[in-house]
Amino acid sequence: MQIPALEGRPPRFYQLAIQRDLINGWSLVREWGQEGSSGRVKKDHFTDWDRAVDAMLRIRDTQLQRGYKVVFMQGQESPHE
């Protein structure tokens, strides 16, 4: 997601991704900051896929309310083993 450049300030970004971790769970990885600089990163652990997706959607909705726009999106169905 991105907020466009305003009044000479660079655009801001917010990225969300869900990754499988090494202890049979899922990590929601968030990265945000100004484009062109290193952003901040936060990882939250979840024991199951559905909880990770629910958290990601809540965070996405919050950022959309703050003015971010989706500029790229790629996803896949829930992995079933």
Q: What is the pLDDT of residues 3-36, one digit of tens each?
A: 888 888 888 999 999 999 888 899 999 999 998 8
Q: Whole-structure pTM over 0.85, yes or no? A: no
pLDDT (average), residues 35-59: 93
Give the 3-state secondary structure of residue 80: coil
Read off the pLDDT band of 75 (50, 70, 90): low
* Rg of the chain over all Cα atoms, to the nearest angstrom: 14
Higher pLDDT among residues 32 and 73, named by residue = 32
Domains of the chain: 2-65 (2.20.140)
CA distance 81 to 70: 30
Number of Cβ atoms within 10 Å of the Cβ of 14: 20
13 close to 32: Cβ distance less than 8 angstroms: yes
Q: Is the pLDDT of residue 81 over 50?
A: no
